Every structure is written in structure tokens, then in C-alpha cells.
Structure 1
Amino acid sequence: MTASAAAQSGPRVVLTARGLGKDFAGFKAVNNVDLDVRHAQIHALIGPNGAGKTTVFNLLTKFLQPTRGRIELLGTDITRTKPDKVARMGLVRSFQISAVFPHLTVLENVRVALQRPGGLSTQFWRPLSSLDRLNGRADQLIDDLGLSEYRDARAADLSYGRKRVLEIATTLALEPQVLLLDEPMAGMGQEDVRMVAGIIRDVAQDRAVLMVEHNLNVVADICDHVTVLQRGEIIASGDYARVSADPRVRTAYMGNEE
């Protein structure tokens, strides 16, 4: 490949789906979906309610097995791989509902997440003080995500937006190559939306991010690539300017940006 061709091809593809499909009792919830998620880019998966976005997420993270198609992570076929192994391979997901321990501090939440890559997740016989060696990495993550002033605060006492940021910190503790975010802005006010959007942009500097998001202003602002689903099938793909001008997308949304 020539240098110019390499430049045109862009960052390397780290997560691929080809012909991905899922049937439920004969109903095609997802049909013939192709995705290429690239390193150091933010890729949005959007569409009206019921378009199949969450089902695609569940297929990629192996919470559901596909009826047909193939999924590759970092060049390895993971189509039939179990979810826990996929996570260890570098594909990590957050959920719509914040999943942190409310009665632990921010530091303690991040330390819990660091136990697996730190080799402590199964060493239950060790004293609690053995987790102190994780403090340096935990503090780095906390600082990187703007949570330093909340380090010793209970997660339950954080604002909703800060809880979502803490959840991102705990997923980053697993050292993902590909981070999947399921509606990260859901339920947030504008100030929190701006904060979390900026953090996602920073996070994507050295890993791929695939996100389901209903806030089209955020999608337009931070996403490098957008894939639009309707009734389980892709109807448009490209940058935001291209897909937002597509008449099929306009028809699918019927002017409703939810």
C-alpha cells in the first residue's frame, strides 16, 4: 500500500461486523449489519426507538449470540466467544443505567475495577491493604477524568453526570481497546452533557469508542463516523453531515431528534 493510500484508509479497524443478524422467533431484529470501528475514533450508532441499536450492542459484546454473520476484534473472530473472554480481550461496555457501587468512594470504585488487570480479582485471601498498590493507577484515572476533588466522596453523593464519569473511569480501568457506551448522555442536563462529551473525546484519543446516543447535537459535535439503523438494518453511514442530509434518515426520524 502506498503512503497516500494508507492515509486515505484512515486509522486501523479494530472491531468489525459483517452480515450481522439476529432473529427472535422468526422476527429479524437485526439484519445484514456491517460495521467498521476504527482506533482513535468515535463511532455513533443512531436511529429511532426500536431500530435495533441495543441488540447490535448485545451482539457485539456477546450478551446475545448472532443468528448469522461474523464479528472480529483486533483481527480475531469472536463470533462465538463468551462475554467475559471478549472483555478480557479488550472490548468493554458501559450500560444505560449507571453501574457503580453507591456506598464506596470514588477511589474505592476505581480500585475495585483495577483488581482484574492488577491480578488481584481472585486473590480474596489477601488483606485489604494489598489494594493500596493500586492507588497510583486509580489516582491517575481519577485525575484524567476530572474527578480528583471527589476522590474520597461516596459515589451515591455524586451528581448523575459525575456518576457516569465514574463509570467511564471504572471501564477504563479494564484497559479496553474498544469502549462501547450505551446512551452515555441519557438523563443529563446540558452542563453534564458538555462535560461528559469532552471526556469521551479525550478518552477516544488512544482507543476506539462506539456509542449509542440519542442526542444528535452530541453526535454532530464529537463523532467521526455515524451509522444509522432503522428496523434492524443500516440505512446510512458516513460522517454526520452526510447522514443527516440523507432523505432516508430524515424520513426515519420524521424531524424528531430523540
Structure 2
Amino acid sequence: MSQADVILETRGLTKAFKGFTAVSKVDLRVRRGAIHALIGPNGAGKTTCFNLLTKFHAPSAGTILFNGEDITRERPAQIARKGVIRSFQISAVFPQLTVMENVRVALQRKLGTAYHFWKSKRSLDELNDRAVALLKAVGLEGFADLPAAELAYGRKRALEIATTLAMDPELMLLDEPTQGMGHEDVEVVTALIKQVSAGRTVLMVEHNMSVVSSIAERITVLQRGAILAEGPYEEMTRNPQVMEAYMGTADGEPVQAA
């Protein structure tokens, strides 16, 4: 792919913790407008990679480029303002607020009042139309007045995607978006990710291979912090090392990675 097609690139990205190398010389290129999956077993370095990309950890070595700009030394808030927005493995909503209020809080930065907690709730009313549109996009318009704590788990994940979208991400980093879900919720959230990816780029860590196979255009497989293989799902299923270690048995039947 050409350099113009690359939204995110890492060069030699490395993170060591007291002698243990969690991420080792990772060269990653994410195509603009694609859904790209990062897979591997527990301890492979996937979440550490996300922490490095969003600057929750500082790299020990290497470079991170976003839209061709070196962001290696920038702080998490700066990364977010550039349009790199991340969700987490554990649903991160405000349980005591309603579904609508959760989305309005995420939208509040557009008013320039993100830290003005003493202002009236009425100052957020101008955000209602956008909040309703976001809730419709994730199928939650009928739950707007419900406290977030009362949502089923799959709907909480949908709400988290709505709050992520409220930040106008150019690149969405989704960390285990279907973790802990039943089959029905997995299907709903998978379809939702595909839907909201239109016009933006998604980099996701995901264990569920049925999710990866159905929506990811490219897969990067990590092993002990380093890239083992990279390519489309069909190509990865023909890679003996990947098949044995991560994607199933020798008969080609994919299973959920450990």
C-alpha cells in the first residue's frame, strides 16, 4: 500500500518492563478506512501495543506515526485530540447517568466546557440532536432515559461505542469489544462495528475468530510481543504456524483463540 493509504504506522515499536520485553520491534501498518485485527493469545502483547499507541505507556524504543506525523512523544490527551480514540476491555460508562447523559458528556468537549463541572445541565441541551443521532446509530434510541447501569452487557458495549463515536474518531481502537458476551450480543456488536466503521478506520484486539473472520480485512498475529504473521484471514488460515498456535486445528476449523 502507498504511504498515503497508511493512517497508522509503527516502526520498531518496543516496550520492556524490568528486563521483560512485552512488545518487540513491531512494524505495523494500518490502511486508512480498513478494519484491522490484532490477535494472539494472552500475553502476546496486544493490549500493551494499544497502551503504547495511546501513550498509556511510553515506548522503550521505536516510532509511532499517525497520518505521517510522529506522535511518539505526545501525551494521551494530545493523541485523542488528533482523532485516535480507544475503548477498553471493561465497559467504561457512567452507571449512575442515563444513556443519553453518557453520550452528552462525551460530546461536551465540543462546547469547550469539558472540565466546567459547575455549569448547568442545560448547557448540554444543544447536544441533544447529535446525541439522539448517535444513539440511533447504535440501536439505543429507545433506552435514552434508562440509567446506564440497567443496560444489558451487550447494550453497554453499544453505548461505549456511541460515546467513542461522539469523540469524532478518525481511528478507533477497540480492545476486546465482544469479550464476555453471549452469541446473540456478539452478532449485534459485530454488525455494529462494521456499520460504524464506514468513513473511519478501526484497529481492534479480538479473541473471537468468528468476529475477526467476518469483519477484519487484515490481521496481524502477535506471538511473545513480536509479529508472527500478517495478512487477510484466508491467508492466515493457510499459515501452519498461525493455524497451530492461534486459529484452530489442522483440519482448518477456526476456534476462539486462548
- Which residue identity is paired with 1:170? T
On the 8 A contact 1:39/1:206 being kept in 2, the answer is no
SS at match of 1:169: helix
Instruction: Give matches, 1:5-44, under 5 Å.
Output: 9=2, 12-44=5-37
Choose which of 107, 130, 146 in structure 2 pairs with 1:137. 130
Among 116, 119, 126, the alignment partner of 1:126 is 119
Shift of 1:10: 9.9
Please name the residue that 2:92 is paired with.
Answer: 99
Is residue 186 of structure 2 the alignment partner of residue 193 of structure 1? yes
Superposition CA RMSD, Å = 1.5
Q: Partner of 1:61 in structure 2?
A: 54
One-letter amino acid of the structure 1 residue matched with residue 256 of structure 2: E
Please state how far the C-alpha of 1:11 moved relative to its aligned partner: 7.7
Of all paired residues, the percent bearing the same amino acid is 57
Alignment-mate amino acid for residue 257 of structure 1: Q
Query: Corresponding residue for 2:195?
Result: 202
Match status 1:218 vs 2:217: no
Aligned residues: 251
- Aligned-pair distance for 1:118? 3.0
- Tell me if structure 2 keeps the 8 A contact 1:43–1:210: yes
Give the conservation status (yes or no) of the 8 Å contact 1:11–1:40.
no
Letter in 2 for 1:250: M
Amino acid across the alignment from 1:42: I
1:51 is aligned to 44
Please give the per-residue CA displacement for 1:98-142, whole angstroms capped at 9, x wherever unaligned: 000111111000001111123221334432211101101101111
What secondary structure is seen at the aligned counterpart in 1 of 2:109? Answer: coil
Corresponding residue SS for 1:186: coil
Q: Per-residue CA shift, 1:171-213, capped at 9, x if unaligned?
A: 1111111000000000101111111001100111111100000
Counterpart of 2:252?
Answer: none
1:148 partnered with 2:171: no
Q: Distance in 2 between matches of 1:197 and 1:69?
A: 32
* TM-score (ref. length: structure 2): 0.93
The structural deviation recorded for 1:75 is 1.7
Gaps of 5+ in 1: 1-7
User: 3-state DSSP class of the match of 1:135?
Assistant: helix
Q: Give secondary structure in 1 for the equivalent of 2:110.
A: coil
Q: Distance in 2 between matches of 1:10 and 1:152?
A: 45
Structure 2: 5+ residue stretches without partners: 250-254
